[in-house]
Amino acid sequence: LITRETWGKKIDFLLSVIGFAVDLANVWRFPYLCYKNGGGAFLVPYLFFMLIAGMPLFYMELALGQYNREGAAGVWKICPIFKGVGFTVILISLYVGFYYNVIISWALFYLFSSFTWELPWVHCNNTWNSPNCSDWADNNTVSDIYTATPAQEYFERGVLHIQDSNGIDDLGRPRWQLTACLAVVIVLLYFCLWKGVKTSGKVVWITATMPYLVLTVLLLRGVTLPGAIDGIKAYLSVDFLRLCDAKVWIEAATQICFSLGVGFGVLIAFSSYNKFSNNCYRDAIITSSINSLTSFFSGFVVFSFLGYMSHKHNVALDKVARDGAGLVFVIYPEAIATLPGSSVWAVIFFIMLLTLGIDSAMGGMESVITGLIDEFKFLHKHRELFTLFIVVSTFLISLFCVTSGGMYVFTLLDHFAAGTSILFGVLIEAIGIAWFYGVDRFSDDIKEMIGHRPGRYWRLCWKFVSPCFLLFMVVVSFATFNPPNYGSYMFPPWANMLGWCLAMSSMTMVPLYAIYKLCTLPGKFCHRLAYAITPETEHHLVDNGEVRQFTVSVPLFLVSQYTLYITSLQGII
């Protein structure tokens, strides 16, 4: 019997969860969404969805992993037919690793480029610049489609070399500079993960805390800049009329789904290394709250600099405000380049991006490694080799993203790898726990760990509110789907088909595993179904004709000596 390792200290676990959940999207997405959707008013739907779905699901995953002490697939010994969703989230984490590590390699490239007296994205006299390049000083009409700023051209032409590609069907070779940066990131990840949580738990002391130090320093510098206060006012300006727009609520719900990191299997993997009696309820409240507060705090940092850019170039704020990679690799570097001692500020900023990204990448990798090692026990003795296999495989696939046309591959992966599929995964997860394993039994498990059952509020959310919310989000995700694009480039039909195949490959794990399980269990169909929905520790009860998940006084059907009883709302309140 292999004794499961545990975190060296409780703070190692908390920092790991915070480090994973607080990632680049906290800096590049939430502040822009807040600004675009009514400023402070956006916090109303954001906090509403946080309370009814975000926190309950976060709490559910932490408790699930801690009680069962297994990875994302192994925890489904509580209801074997749902083990497919474990493989779904493992696959999603693997797919995200294919392109997420590339973002970190971009940040590393920028970091190396910042060790110079004059930053390379200041002027238009470089070898990569095109005739369309125009310095800000000469380009007050930012919306002019025929001009591009030096920072924009540095990112697209100097770093990505996208001008050497005609589209996703013309990728070219991997660029050695980005390949080298990607290799450094992969080596870092390997040595952070190879010994398990004993090593990764120490790394997060730096990677999870550094962003807060840097954000604070950048804020103190940002608020002293001219126009910064106007930027912050625009960020916080309250427009309650925007709450009448359904799109605002949908964007808030989407942000909650993706910002907390639920559905990647990471929270399950991390909490599985906790001591059994750890207070996972308190951990869920603390870490999910810190994640949301970080998003809100980073908005002050971002918009103080955006306000400065707007003031300096005498353009409207919406001309410089954007989200995604364009914010952290174009707009922010551009703002930093205008400051005295710009190289120092650039180094500080890109160190922050590195630390924001690296612990989130560590979390995703740990989900894959823990999930598969716990499922295939023979891998326990070879963790170092298996970790090497995973990171090298990720590196090889990621090479497609560091070619001249790599941005097209990156965009396609980003659009399909963890969109609808992760919402679907969390929905199945919530249904499996609340309706098949049972909220009542799940609450008893939590009581066994922390000494008291979850309150009525949490049980109602798990049983009804969160599944309904997730079902709504899955439907909205399909209904509002738009094909990916990069600027004016539209992807060919075969690329969209490939993207959907990628998304479906993870989602189909749920029905495929359920069919596999039903086909491999002994006995007639109803007997196999009874086994498939009963915890593995209680399979002897099935032999006595009892399925405790569904118990009521009226038998639904009889098969030989086995009787399957079914009920609806059992002991929730």
Which parts are annotated binding residues for Na(+)?
A: 19, 21-22, 26, 259, 291, 356, 359-360
Q: What letter would DSSP give residue 523?
A: S
Radius of gyration from C-alpha coordinates of the chain: 25
327: burial class by Cβ within 10 Å (0-12, 13-18, 19+)? buried
- Check: CB of residue 439 under 8 Å from CB of residue 57: no
Binding residues: 19, 21-22, 26, 259, 291, 356, 359-360
Alpha-helical runs (H) found in 330-452: 332-337, 342-375, 383-398, 406-416, 420-431, 439-450
For helices 420-431 and 466-479, angle between their N-to-C axes, nearest 10 degrees: 150
Q: In this structure, how many other beta carbons lie within 10 angstroms of the beta carbon of residue 534? A: 24
Structure tokens at 166: 């005609």
- Check: CB of residue 558 under 8 Å from CB of residue 544: no
Closest CA to 498 of 412, 400, 385, 406: 412
- Check: CB of residue 71 under 8 Å from CB of residue 370: yes
Closest CA to 350 of 326, 332, 323, 324: 332
Backbone torsions φ then ψ of 212, nearest 5 degrees: -70, -40
| First-to-last C-alpha distance (Å) of the chain | 39
CA dist list (Å): 330 to 70, 317, 336: 42, 15, 10
Q: How far is CA 391 from the centre of its chain?
A: 18
Strands 485-486 and 555-559: unpaired
